[in-house]
Amino acid sequence: MDARVNTHAPVEYLLHLADNAVVLGQRNAEWCGHAPVIEEDMAMANNSLDLIGQARLLYQYAAERMNADVRAPRSAAWPAGAITEDTLAYFRDVPDFRNYVLLELPHSAPLVPSGVGDRDWSTTIVRNFLYSALMVLVWERLSQSTDAQLAAIAAKSLKEVRYHLRHSRDWLVRLGDGTDESKRRTQAALDWLLPFTEEFWTASALESAVADNATGVEVASLRGEWDALVSDAIAEATLTRPAPVKGYVHRGKTGVHSEHLGYLLGEMQSLARQHPGAVW
């Protein structure tokens, strides 16, 4: 047994993982009542519940740690009393969130402004596939974390994300190797979204720290395995993996987001902010 088994992962790392889950959970929940067929309506709702459940466990753990630390930063805008999972989900603002920019993008077809085009199923599927392929690897490593509570959360989450990956991969192949129209739209979604995954591999002092004490994982070390998963699925879907795009790399995990996150949080947080402290 590793002598560091009781080491705690930094709260900022827990929030990064939780923010990823809650933002994508909120996005996927937007398909409720709008999916192509009723079975997928249910599948996407269950996917959202899995992600929001992961976020809850992580926010609860982060809140517990923050309440125990008198030095933990608190905002004057937060409801009075102990920090809770609701505090962290509903009363933090855009710069406080540490999710990948990929996850906050709208479901619109590539290059169609949000609110102009209908939801595009291929965009959702490609995004879910790219992220799930990463998180299968991340949760697998985190299930061996020296932070025992994070390891338990990871073990539960790994079971769920394996299903998310299978579901999105099956759809990727179905759409890519389907009709001319489904192939065109899925290729366009892949061309649009793949560059956003460059953020996964950017250097992070936080990730280096959790890798050093074995509480977390440096995501850049997973790139080879992720590339293999992604390339294999793209080939089976008879799609073309776009060439790497050089240029700006998004920095959502350091708090620099697109304009889309503000609208997403505005909808997600509106009720809690109108009635802070309310219980039901």
Residue 5 is predicted with a pLDDT of 52
Q: Is 56 helix (H, G, I), strand (E, B) or coil?
A: helix
The model's pLDDT over 225-247, given as tens digits with 9 standing for 90+, comes to 999 999 999 999 999 999 988 88
Can you list the pairs that 158-167 forms with residues at least 24 positions away whose Cβ atoms lie under 8 Å? 160/50, 160/53, 160/54, 161/50, 161/132, 161/135, 161/136, 162/136, 163/50, 164/47, 164/50, 164/128, 164/132, 164/135, 165/129, 165/132, 165/133, 165/135, 165/136, 167/43, 167/47, 167/128
Please check whether residue 197 lies inside any domain of the structure: yes
**DSSP assignment letter at 54:** H
Please check whether residue 67 lies inside any domain of the structure: yes
Please check whether residue 4 lies inside any domain of the structure: no
Q: Max alpha carbon distance in the chain (Å)?
A: 59
Comparing C-alpha atoms, which of 134, 132, 121 is closest to residue 160? Answer: 132
Please check whether residue 257 lies inside any domain of the structure: yes
As for how many domains the chain has, the answer is: 1
Report the C-alpha gap between 230 and 19 in whole angstroms: 23
Q: How far is CA 234 from CA 118, 183, 192, in A?
A: 25, 11, 14
pLDDT tens digits, the chain, 280 residues: what are they?
344 456 999 999 999 999 999 999 999 999 988 888 888 989 999 999 999 999 999 999 999 999 998 888 888 889 888 999 999 999 999 999 999 999 999 998 765 544 445 689 999 999 999 999 999 999 999 999 999 999 999 999 999 999 999 999 999 999 999 999 999 999 999 999 999 999 999 999 999 999 999 999 999 999 999 999 999 999 999 999 999 888 889 999 999 999 999 999 999 999 999 988 777 6
Residue 96 is predicted with a pLDDT of 96
- Write out the H or E segment, with its range, that includes residue 186: helix 180-193
Please check whether residue 255 lies inside any domain of the structure: yes
Residue 6 is predicted with a pLDDT of 64
Two tokens, residue 42: 């249910």
Residue 148 is predicted with a pLDDT of 96
How high is the mean pLDDT of the chain?
A: 92
* CATH for 83: 1.20.1260.10
- Which range of residues forms the domain containing residue 238? 11-274
- Beta carbons within 8 Å of 205's beta carbon, 6+ residues apart: none
Instruction: Give the pTM.
Output: 0.94
144: left (phi over 0), alpha (psi -120 to 50) or beta: alpha
Please check whether residue 2 lies inside any domain of the structure: no
Please check whether residue 5 lies inside any domain of the structure: no
Please check whether residue 279 lies inside any domain of the structure: no
Backbone dihedral angles phi then psi of residue 147, each to the nearest 5 degrees: -90, 105
